[in-house]
Each structure stands twice: as structure tokens, then as C-alpha cells.
């Protein structure tokens, strides 16, 4: 296992700040009597300590220096730029329920956050209550404590468990730190609002028998409004809704509204003719927040203490308190259809009419979300000289994530309908009141139905685990090392809405998606690594995992068991000192999470364009319902207790080549295949399916249409096992360093190409390849160039997202736009003063690149490709750091 390239690899790793994992063990080995001792290292992707920095799985490393040079303010932002994070990842935006506006998550290979395992120092990060514990919030970790981030770009279910389908993110924290470090950063984007600041303090102490590190970080940022990202005078602006504070009504002849009121009401657009036909629409983008106000406090400590020469006590404690204030426009009264009877004294028609209205008079929908996360780990690590020596460890970990949301100015539909039925309110102003009198009356109406929605989520995990590793055989040329381990985890998960929301008659919230569930997870695993002559290493791993989970549904309690054994095989070979060939294959397995199975049905309002209706009615004007922007449609979404576990496999093949001195090249091909992939069915898929199956009313079980107009009243979506999903592609990395008497230059280039991203909805469906279409760019890359001379350094970083086709033929629509390629440039200069003060000035998105539009003539940044692009424009930042 000894390798004469280790010293060079370590030197390159230090020089580049990113080449491979370098977490050194305290234990050492010798190749033979009298040989120089070489330290074993822990490499992400294997639980066996080894000598070589590279193993059979590709690993990308981002050091603390890389993070500082990037200029990105959080771990989540850094990970979003990864080329292997193919289609962008989630960063919380305003208006999303269940606390999602307060979290960030990673989406390796575009397979979803629940297919990427996030570790903190090799241990599972706490799962969020907003995801049923399926994904971790990457924004929890204080940036000041991060030593490096290791990204395993390979399936690792056999090593780490079922969540490691697409890969593993391992966040390594600082542990050997003495002294005191203070850091402050201020960031100001060009768009109005969004100013942010971060302050952190880190301290550490090392003694003869151990060490302890403390870090506290406080960060806050101001909201950014939709109107400031999407200029109101932009010809592509289209954030309009027919749910307006000036009520529209629908009878057998079409839509109608009061034109005079529409002219007087702020933020409304009048499309009503002289006969009262048409609609008063509401420009909701003028009042809503895109990014919420945030306030976050995080604390983390690591400690170790030697109880004896062979036993060490370890521990970690983390706490994070995150609060966001989000805003959506005043509540559209839409969960339950609202009608005015034919005999109501204020009915402007001679028949019953349906009312489309919005509760603007009582204010916007403001939601405060509080997320509290705690994680405590204690364990023992030891060594015994039995046989060839045994390393062992046993740990206990307790993680709790709590989310509380309070949504103001929602509407109780039952109370609102009762107020309309009372005949006291002249909603359409048929009596001819002044605007002020009518507005006062409407405020009283909405106050009668005003509701504050509450949501509480709680996810708790208790885990005990242990492992034993040893060298099984060592005759000098042939070495076999192995590890065996076991884990047991108990999980309790609840998410509860207020009773009115849970019963489904509150408009404006996301309540109703209640879950009461628990899960027991049992796992046992092994890993064996054999080193043969001629620098050939073979690794074989296997893991058995079993999930027993139960939850409450509207049909009673449901219990299900999922279990599977998954293997993995990896092989490396060094034909020369400068070339490493490697490959791996492994199976994957993921049980459905508790939300996917047991979530009760909740109402949301995604924006869609009704392709079937608009195709069947070609003479409609391209505004409102048939506009490229579409309209919000009431959609019920819930869990599925009949879900099956996902199964699949992944393969990687590639090489690492030290081409010349200080130049390293890596090329990796990956292929991931899923069967029974769990995914939600979105509205666009349902509408496309309706067209494919014959047009209007072809799928009555999923799309409920109005008997009079034929337009959509409700849609029903949820989770299903899709027949298959597969993706493959290529990763390329090149690192180079050039030293001169005038300073040192270094550069790193990462390029990822998605060759295919194929999905098959069911056994009878055709394979659909999304690669290269909207939201699925084939190319993503980044290039960083750094110059350093004595105490001065300068960095330029470029991020690239490839062009995407509109997908007209594939999607069956003609209003999507081709998306051009996108470049973003970040620059930074820094200086270290003699007082050990570090000063950095930087500009992110130097050329103020605007995110592209996904629609022809309409810019939709909120519902689609925004996660791939910078929405805040050019940002200036200043960072000050002082060490003592």
C-alpha cells in the first residue's frame, strides 16, 4: 500500500488547497523492519485508513482557503456552484411553506437532495423536519469552523447507507486550533435590499491530553423583493393574478368586474371593457419578497480527551437558531370555491356567480419561520494490540430539528362564505359606494374570516453505532485490511398544522400536509481492501440495511418494512508513478421517507399554462389563463403509502494523471441507474399526459375541470414510483501551479458534462431524455485563477452554465424559450497585514449578469431555473479577519 507518489500528492494538495482528502490518523505503520513510517489517512468514500490519497472513488476537495477565495457567503452557496451539482440546488426563497424558506440543500447529479448524504466530520448531519429528515440543511454550518469540504462523486450506499445514492458531502471542521479568531463580512448586492453581514468568533485550546474548539457565528440578511429583481417596467414582467382585491366574478357569459374600482385600487391592471366584461388582475410581484429577511445564530464545538494511551473520548455539540420573515401577496380566497347565490341582493348577475378575490385589505401573507437544530455526539475511540492490532470506536448521537411557522392574514373559507351568504357585503359595489367606503367594507369582510396559520415540525434521531478495523494480513507485498460495523437509529417525526388548515378550508397557507410517523433503521456493514503487487488495490464493501416505519393515514395506521443488501466493488491500478486508473461499481437502495409515504393532502398554487384547454380554444387572447405566464392553479399534493423502495446501481471509471510537474488531470465517467425512482408528479407532467392521452378531460382523476368553462378547478398530484431514471456523464478536473520570483500562480478547472438524463414514467411509456432541455443543462463548469505574492493575493473565478433548448417538441408547448449560455465572474483581492489582520475586497457577478428567461416574452425566475443562476446582480463585499 506504500506509494512513492504520496509526498508529491500531499505537496500538491497543500499547494492547490484542493487535491484530495488529507485527514491523518494518529496511528502509523511500517512497510517492513526499519522502513520509514507512513501515516494512514481517512479518505471519504472508504472507512479504512490507507496510505494513498486517492482511492477507487472520485473525490473533490474544497478547502477553507478555496471557500474564502470564492467570495460565497455560506456552505450552501459554495456547494451550489459545484459542476457536479448539475442542475442547481435549493436555496430558501420567500413564500414556501413548512419552513422551506429557511433551508438550503444539495442536489448532486440532479437526483434530489434525498439522494445525497451530508456528513459532518464523517457523521450524518441532522435531517431537517421540512424534508422528513431526508436531507440536511447545508446552511447550518458556521463557515468559520469549516476546514474543508469533501465531495464524493460516486454512489456509496454500501459504505455510508441508503441516502448516499448520488454521492456524499463530508464537511470537515477545524479541530487543531489554538488561539482566537474574529471575522466580519459585509455583502451588498446591486439590487435593492439583500444587504447581509456575518460575524464569527472562534477559539481553541490544545493541552497535553486533548483539545477543544468553539465557534459562534451570527449572520443576517435583508429581504429582496420580486419587484426589484423583476423590474416593473420590464416588458417581460407578468406577475399578474385574476385573484384580485377588486373581486372578479364568473357566470355563464364569462368574467366580469367593476372597472371603476379596478382603476382606484393600487397594484391592479384593468382589462375590463365598457360592458363590464373582462377581469381586474393583481400585480402581486410588487409586494412579495423573493428572498426573506433572515437572522441566524450557530454554535459548534469539538473536543477530544485522552483517557489513556489507547482510549480517547470525543465529542461534538452543535446548535443553530434560524429565523426568516417571508412574504407572499394578500391571500387569494381559492382553497374552497366561493359563490354568491342568485338571490343575494348584491349579485350583479341574474344567476349564481363564482367569486375570485384576494384579501389585500387586511395585508400581505407574512410568515415567520423559526428553525432550531441541535446535534450532540459523544463517543470513545481506542486501540488494542490483539492480533495485528484493532482500532475500534463506539458513538451515540442525538439530533433534533424543530420548525415553527406562523402565517398571518390567511382566510377561513367557511367564515368567508358565511359572510357572503349573510347579504351584508356589497363585494362588487353594485350600490355605487365611494371607493373609500367600499374599501372599508371589504376590510371588515376579510377581518371576519382572518386566520393565523400555524405549522410545527419535529424530527428527532437517536443513533448508536460502532466499528472495528484491523490489518488482516501483511506479508510486505500483499496486504489485506478490513472494517466491520453496525448502526441502530430510532426516528420520530411529526408535522402538524392548525386544525382549520389540516381540515383543508384555509386559503393562503400550505397547511394540511400533516405527518405522524416513526422509523427504526438497522444496518450492518463490512469493507475489505486488498493491496496486491504491481500497485493494484481491490476494495469490496457490503451493507445490509433495514427500515421499519409506520405512520398515521386517513385510513388508519400503516406499517411497512424495507430492507436490502447492497454491495460495492472498487479497483485501482498504478501502471506508472504518475498515472492512477480506477473504477467502481455498486448498488443503491433508498427507502421512501416518512413524508413521501404518510403526508396528508395539502393545497398549493403552482403557476401553469393549461395547454389542453388553450389548444382546444385557439382564439383566446394570450393573456391571463392562456398567457405564456399562465395562472396559479389550486393543486392538492399528498403522500403515497404504496410506495416501493428505490433500487439501482452506479458505475464510475476514470484516471488521475500527474502529467508534468505541478499539473494534475482527472477524468471520470459516471453512470447512475434507478428503478422505481420516487418522485413527485408536477402539474406540467399531468398536463402533458392529458394532451398525449387525447386532450381535454382525458385524465379526470388528476385534473378536475369546471363543468361550464372547461378550465381547471383543481389538480391532484403526489409521489409515485417512476419506472426508471438514469443519468450518465463526464467530470474533468485540471490543477496547475506555476511558481516564479514575481509570485505564484495556480489554477483549477472543473467541467461536468451530462450525457443523458433519461426518465421513463411507467413501463409502457417511452424514454424521455431531459439532458440539454430547460432546467437540465448539459454543461456546467468553473475556473479559478489565483496569484499570490508575499502578503498579497488576487483571485478570479468564472462560473459557467450551458445553453438549454426550449424543448418545444418534447414538452408539447410552444411558449418556452431557448436559454443561452451563462457566465458569472467573481474577483477578489486580499492582503495580510503585519498585525496578522486579513483584509479582502471582492465583487461577485462582476459584470452584473442577469438570469435568463425560460419563457418567450415572460421571465419566470421563481419557479424554475433560478437555482442555477445569480438573481441578486453584482455584489460587493468586504471581509476582515483578525487572529490572536
Q: Break the chain into its structural domains and give their ranges.
A: 6-234+289-333+365-417+446-883
pTM: 0.81
Give 3 or 348, the one with higher predicted confidence: 348
Provide the pLDDT confidence category of residue 863 given band limits of 50, 70 and 90.
very low
CA distances from 30 to 1, 36, 51, 384 (A): 10, 6, 11, 18
Lowest mean pLDDT across 24-33, 84-93, 628-637, 769-778? 24-33
Q: What is the mean pLDDT of residues 180-194?
A: 91
If you average pLDDT over every residue of the chain, what do you get?
83
The candidate with the shortest Cα–Cα distance to 151, out of 124, 174, 172, is 172
pLDDT at 34: 38
In the predicted structure, residue 873 carries a pLDDT above the cut 70: yes
pLDDT at 89: 67
Element (H, E) at 316: strand 311-328
In the predicted structure, residue 1 carries a pLDDT above the cut 70: no
d(CA 529, CA 42): 13
| 140, 298 Cβ separation under 8 angstroms | yes
Provide the pLDDT confidence category of residue 619 given band limits of 50, 70 and 90.
confident
Element (H, E) at 264: helix 259-264
Q: Which three cell numbers stand for residue 703?
A: 385534473
d(CA 26, CA 23): 10
Provide the pLDDT confidence category of residue 11 given band limits of 50, 70 and 90.
very low
| 219, 196 Cβ separation under 8 angstroms | yes
Whole-number percent of the chain with pLDDT over 70: 86
d(CA 783, CA 800): 9
pLDDT at 69: 78
In the predicted structure, residue 252 carries a pLDDT above the cut 90: no
Sort 528 into a burial class: Cβ within 10 Å, 0-12 / 13-18 / 19+.
middle
pLDDT at 145: 79
Q: What is the mean pLDDT of residues 281-286?
A: 88
pLDDT at 524: 96
Provide the pLDDT confidence category of residue 435 given band limits of 50, 70 and 90.
very high
In the predicted structure, residue 854 carries a pLDDT above the cut 80: no
pLDDT at 2: 34
Sort 581 into a burial class: Cβ within 10 Å, 0-12 / 13-18 / 19+.
middle
The candidate with the shortest Cα–Cα distance to 296, out of 76, 133, 121, 129, is 76
d(CA 731, CA 151): 13
Q: What is the mean pLDDT of residues 648-675?
A: 91
pLDDT at 573: 93
Supply the DSSP string of 720-735, one letter for each residue. EEEEEEEEEEEEEEEE
pLDDT at 30: 32
Q: Which three cell numbers stand for residue 643?
A: 410506495
The candidate with the shortest Cα–Cα distance to 20, out of 2, 43, 47, is 43
pLDDT at 824: 92
Lowest mean pLDDT across 194-203, 552-561, 690-699? 690-699
Residue 363 gets the label, from left (phi > 0), alpha (psi -120 to 50) or beta, of left
d(CA 634, CA 404): 24
Element (H, E) at 206: strand 196-207
SS3 221: strand
Q: Which three cell numbers stand for residue 110?
A: 440532479
Q: In the chain, what is the straight-line distance between the N-terminal and C-terminal CA atoms, in Å?
A: 41
pLDDT at 100: 52
In the predicted structure, residue 538 carries a pLDDT above the cut 70: yes
d(CA 4, CA 143): 35
Helices (H), 454-565: 499-502
Lookup result for grid cell 454543461: 779
d(CA 805, CA 820): 9
SS3 658: strand
Which tens digit of pLDDT belongs to each residue from 499-532? Answer: 888 777 888 776 557 888 999 999 999 999 998 9
Which tens digit of pLDDT belongs to each residue from 675-706? Answer: 888 877 778 778 877 777 766 766 567 788 88
In the predicted structure, residue 91 carries a pLDDT above the cut 90: no
d(CA 318, CA 141): 9
| 589, 646 Cβ separation under 8 angstroms | yes
Residue 64 has φ and ψ, to the nearest 5°, of -60, -35
Which tens digit of pLDDT belongs to each residue from 123-138? Answer: 887 777 677 767 777 7
Q: What is the mean pLDDT of residues 246-258?
A: 91
Residue 287 gets the label, from left (phi > 0), alpha (psi -120 to 50) or beta, of alpha
Parallel, antiparallel or unpaired: strands 712-740 and 635-638: parallel
CB atoms within 10 A of CB 26: 10
pLDDT at 568: 93
pLDDT at 512: 59
What 8-state DSSP symbol labels residue 476? S
Helices (H), 142-242: 157-160, 226-229
Give 596 or 779, the one with higher predicted confidence: 779
d(CA 779, CA 485): 39
Which tens digit of pLDDT belongs to each residue from 217-248? Answer: 999 999 988 888 876 666 667 778 889 999 99
What 8-state DSSP symbol labels residue 858? B
CA distances from 564 to 50, 114, 449 (A): 28, 18, 51
Lookup result for grid cell 490544545: 206
In the predicted structure, residue 642 carries a pLDDT above the cut 60: yes
pLDDT at 868: 81
Parallel, antiparallel or unpaired: strands 59-63 and 146-152: antiparallel
The candidate with the shortest Cα–Cα distance to 583, out of 470, 461, 677, 669, is 669
In the predicted structure, residue 33 carries a pLDDT above the cut 80: no
pLDDT at 54: 62
How would you label 747-760 residue by residue, b for 16+ Cβ within 10 Å and e otherwise? Answer: bbbbbbbbbebbbb
Query: Order of strands across the sheet with 116-120?
Result: 59-63, 146-152, 167-173, 116-120, 123-124
pLDDT at 555: 66
d(CA 577, CA 54): 13
Chain centroid to Cα 346, Å, comes to: 49
Q: Angle formed by the axes of helices 413-421 and 435-448, to 10°?
A: 130
Whole-number percent of the chain with pLDDT over 90: 42
d(CA 112, CA 116): 7
In the predicted structure, residue 496 carries a pLDDT above the cut 60: yes
| 344, 420 Cβ separation under 8 angstroms | yes
Topology of the domain covering 6-234+289-333+365-417+446-883: Maltoporin; Chain A (2.40.170)
Amino acid at each position: 500500500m506504500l506509494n512513492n507518489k504520496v509526498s508529491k500528492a500531499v505537496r500538491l494538495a497543500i499547494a492547490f488547497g484542493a487535491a484530495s482528502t488529507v485527514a491523518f490518523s494518529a496511528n502509523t505503520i511500517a512497510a517492513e523492519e526499519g522502513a520509514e513510517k507512513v501515516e494512514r489517512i481517512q479518505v471519504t468514500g472508504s472507512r479504512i485508513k490507507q496510505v494513498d490519497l486517492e482511492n477507487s472513488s472520485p473525490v473533490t476537495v474544497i478547502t477553507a482557503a478555496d471557500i474564502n477565495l470564492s467570495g460565497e457567503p455560506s456552505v450552501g452557496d459554495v456547494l451550489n456552484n459545484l459542476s457536479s451539482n448539475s442542475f442547481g440546488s435549493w436555496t430558501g426563497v420567500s413564500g414556501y411553506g413548512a419552513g422551506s424558506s429557511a433551508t438550503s440543500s444539495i442536489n448532486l447529479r440532479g437526483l434530489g437532495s434525498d439522494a445525497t448524504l451530508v456528513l459532518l466530520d464523517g457523521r450524518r448531519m441532522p435531517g431537517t423536519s421540512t424534508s422528513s429528515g431526508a436531507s440536511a440543511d447545508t446552511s447550518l454550518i458556521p463557515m468559520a469552523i469549516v476546514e474543508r469540504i469533501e465531495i464524493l462523486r460516486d454512489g456509496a450506499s454500501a459504505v455510508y447507507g441508503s441516502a448516499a445514492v448520488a454521492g456524499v458531502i463530508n464537511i470537515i471542521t477545524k479541530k487543531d486550533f489554538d488561539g482566537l479568531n474574529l471575522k466580519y463580512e459585509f455583502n451588498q448586492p446591486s439590487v435593492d435590499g439583500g444587504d447581509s453581514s456575518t460575524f464569527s468568533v472562534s477559539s481553541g485550546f490544545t493541552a497535553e491530553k486533548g483539545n477543544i474548539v468553539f465557534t459562534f457565528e451570527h449572520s443576517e440578511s435583508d429581504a429582496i423583493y420580486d419587484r426589484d429583481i423583476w423590474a416593473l417596467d420590464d416588458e417581460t414582467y407578468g406577475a399578474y393574478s385574476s385573484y384580485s382585491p377588486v373581486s372578479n366574478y364568473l357566470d355563464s357569459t364569462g368574467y366580469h368586474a367593476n372597472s371603476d374600482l379596478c382603476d382606484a385600487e393600487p397594484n391592479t391592471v384593468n382589462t375590463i371593457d365598457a360592458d363590464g366584461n373582462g377581469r381586474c388582475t393583481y400585480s402581486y410581484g410588487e409586494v412579495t419578497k423573493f428572498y426573506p429577511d433572515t437572522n441566524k445564530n450557530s454554535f459548534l464545538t469539538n473536543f477530544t480527551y485522552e483517557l489513556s494511551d489507547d482510549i480517547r473520548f470525543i465529542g461534538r455539540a452543535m446548535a443553530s437558531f434560524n429565523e426568516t420573515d417571508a412574504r407572499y401577496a394578500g391571500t387569494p380566497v381559492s382553497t374552497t370555491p366561493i359563490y354568491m347565490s342568485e338571490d343575494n341582493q348584491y349579485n350583479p348577475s341574474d344567476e349564481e356567480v363564482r367569486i375570485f378575490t384576494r384579501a389585500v385589505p387586511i395585508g400581505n401573507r407574512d410568515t415567520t419561520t423559526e428553525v432550531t437544530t441541535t446535534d450532540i455526539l459523544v463517543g470513545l475511540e481506542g486501540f488494542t494490540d490483539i492480533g495485528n492490532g484493532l482500532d475500534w470506536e463506539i458513538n451515540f448521537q442525538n439530533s433534533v430539528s424543530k420548525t415553527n411557522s406562523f402565517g398571518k392574514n390567511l382566510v377561513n373559507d367557511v367564515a368567508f362564505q358565511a359572510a357572503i351568504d349573510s347579504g351584508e357585503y356589497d363585494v362588487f359595489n353594485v350600490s355605487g359606494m365611494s371607493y373609500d367606503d367600499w374599501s372599508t367594507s371589504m376590510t371588515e369582510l376579510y377581518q371576519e374570516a382572518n386566520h393565523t396559520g400555524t405549522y410545527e415540525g419535529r424530527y428527532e434521531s437517536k443513533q448508536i453505532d460502532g466499528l472495528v478495523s484491523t490489518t488482516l494480513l501483511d506479508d510486505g507485498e500483499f496486504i489485506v485490511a478490513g472494517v466491520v460495523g453496525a448502526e441502530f437509529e430510532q426516528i420520530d417525526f411529526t408535522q402538524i398544522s392548525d386544525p382549520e388548515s389540516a381540515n383543508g378550508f384555509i386559503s393562503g397557507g400550505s397547511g394540511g400536509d400533516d405527518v405522524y410517523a416513526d422509523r427504526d433503521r438497522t444496518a450492518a456493514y463490512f469493507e475489505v481492501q486488498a493491496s496486491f503487487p504491481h500497485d493494484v488495490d481491490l476494495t469490496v464493501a457490503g451493507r445490509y440495511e433495514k427500515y421499519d416505519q409506520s405512520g398515521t393515514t386517513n385510513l388508519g395506521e400503516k406499517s411497512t418494512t424495507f430492507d436490502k443488501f447492497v454491495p460495492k466493488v472498487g479497483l485501482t491500478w498504478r501502471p506508472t508513478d504518475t498515472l492512477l486508473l480506477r473504477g467502481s461499481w455498486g448498488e443503491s437502495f433508498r427507502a421512501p421517507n416518512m413524508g413521501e409515504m404518510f403526508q396528508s393532502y395539502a393545497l398549493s398554487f403552482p403557476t401553469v399554462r393549461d395547454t389542453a384547454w388553450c389548444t382546444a380554444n385557439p382564439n383566446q387572447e394570450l393573456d391571463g389563463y392562456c398567457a405564456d405566464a399562465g395562472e396559479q392553479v389550486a393543486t392538492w399534493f399528498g403522500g403515497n403509502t404504496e410506495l416501493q423502495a428505490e433500487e439501482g446501481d452506479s458505475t464510475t471509471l476514470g484516471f488521475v494523471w500527474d502529467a508534468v510537474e505541478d499539473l494534475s488531470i482527472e477524468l471520470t465517467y459516471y453512470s447512475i441507474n434507478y428503478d422505481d425512482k420516487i418522485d413527485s408528479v408536477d402539474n406540467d407532467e399531468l398536463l402533458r399526459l392529458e394532451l398525449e392521452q387525447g386532450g381535454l378531460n382525458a385524465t379526470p382523476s388528476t385534473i378536475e375541470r369546471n363543468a361550464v368553462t372547461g378550465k381547471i378547478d383543481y389538480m391532484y398530484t403526489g409521489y409515485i414510483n417512476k419506472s426508471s431514471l438514469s443519468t450518465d456523464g463526464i467530470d474533468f478536473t485540471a490543477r496547475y501551479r506555476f511558481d516564479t520570483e514575481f509570485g505564484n500562480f495556480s489554477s483549477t478547472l472543473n467541467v461536468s458534462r451530462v450525457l443523458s438524463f433519461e426518465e421513463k414514467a411507467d413501463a409502457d411509456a417511452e424514454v424521455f431524455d431531459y439532458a440539454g432541455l430547460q432546467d437540465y443543462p448539459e454543461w456546467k463548469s468553473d475556473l479559478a485563477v489565483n496569484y499570490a505574492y508575499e502578503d498579497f493575493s488576487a483571485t478570479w473565478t468564472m462560473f459557467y452554465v450551458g445553453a438549454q433548448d426550449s424543448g418545444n417538441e418534447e414538452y408539447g408547448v410552444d411558449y418556452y424559450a431557448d436559454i443561452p449560455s451563462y457566465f458569472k465572474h467573481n474577483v477578489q483581492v486580499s492582503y495580510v497585514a503585519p498585525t496578522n489582520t486579513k483584509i479582502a475586497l471582492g465583487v461577485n457577478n462582476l459584470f452584473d449578469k442577469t438570469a435568463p428567461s425560460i419563457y418567450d416574452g415572460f421571465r419566470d425566475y421563481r419557479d424554475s431555473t433560478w437555482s442555477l443562476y445569480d438573481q441578486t446582480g453584482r455584489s460587493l463585499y468586504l471581509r476582515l479577519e483578525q487572529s490572536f
